[in-house]
Amino acid sequence: MKNAMPAGRQEKLKLTLKKILITFSVLFFAFFILSYSIFNASAQTLAAKKPVLKFTVSPSVTPLPTPKPEIQYYLPYPGILPDHPLYPLKMVRDRIWLWLTTNSLRKVEVLLLFADKRLGAGKALIEGNKVSLGLTTIEKAEKYLERAVNQLEREKTKGPELGKLGEKLKTASQKHEEIIAELKENLTGDTKVALENLLVYPKTVLEKVQKILE
Per-residue pLDDT of the chain (214 residues; tens, 9 = 90+): 445 556 556 666 666 666 665 655 545 544 444 444 444 434 443 343 444 444 344 455 555 556 678 889 999 999 999 999 999 999 999 999 999 999 999 999 999 999 999 999 999 999 999 999 999 999 999 999 999 999 999 887 778 888 999 999 999 999 999 999 999 998 999 999 999 999 999 999 999 999 988 8
Alpha-carbon distance of 122 to 110, in angstroms, equals: 18
For the purposes of burial, counting CB atoms within 10 Å of the CB of 149, is it exposed (0-12), middle (13-18) or buried (19 or more)?
Answer: buried
Of the CA atoms within 13 Å of residue 168, those in its CB half-sphere come to: 19
State the architecture of 87-213 in CATH terms. Up-down Bundle (1.20)
**pTM to 2 decimal places:** 0.68
3-state secondary structure at position 162: helix
Please choose, from the candidates 118, 111, 108, 126, the residue with its C-alpha nearest in 3D space to the C-alpha of residue 181.
126
Q: How many residues does the chain have?
A: 214
Domain regions of the chain by residue span: 15-42, 87-213
Q: Are 172 and 115 in contact (CB under 8 A)?
A: yes
